[in-house]
Amino acid sequence: MKKIIIINGPNLNLLGNRETDIYGKTTLTEIEQLSKNKANELNLRISFYQSNSESEIINLIHKTQTDYDGLIINPAAFTHTSIALLDALKAVSKPKIEIHLSNIYNREDYRKSSITSAGVNGIICGLGSLSYILAIVALNDLLDN
């Protein structure tokens, strides 16, 4: 069974309560359950994490190389600021997909640039919790090819 890791960045633990007009009313716990349901359909095993700490996220990215077949990451605000996350993503040779609940290219100017995207195979954004489901399907396809 293929194993994937889904990593969620800062403030995503507040989903469902935080700026619902942008991020929706679905909680991260609900997104985790939706993700696990889709993974089960595809015969994947997922590990789902959230951290507000850049160093914890970097350590999880590093673990991908030895413990997982692929990675899905919602770097949240670190998307626009973290060269350290980019370097960690580039160091991992496994397939990687970046996701965002909102369309970062239709937001404030400072959110329109993704530093981390240079370290992943593809990006899915703007589709709310569906971004996670589509990323699981896409990552499964990348792993099969």
Q: How many Cβ atoms sit within 10 Å of the Cβ of residue 25?
A: 12
Q: Note if 80 is an active site residue.
A: no
Q: Note if 100 is an active site residue.
A: yes
**Catalytic residue among 23, 80, 110, 132, which?**
23
**Catalytic residue among 100, 105, 110, 132, which?**
100
Residue 100, judged by CB atoms within 10 A of its CB (0-12, 13-18, 19+), counts as buried
| Residue 52 vs residues 55, 77, 88, 133: alpha-carbon distances, Å | 9, 10, 17, 22
Angle at 30 between CA 143 and CA 26, to 5 degrees: 110
Which positions are annotated as active-site residues?
23, 100
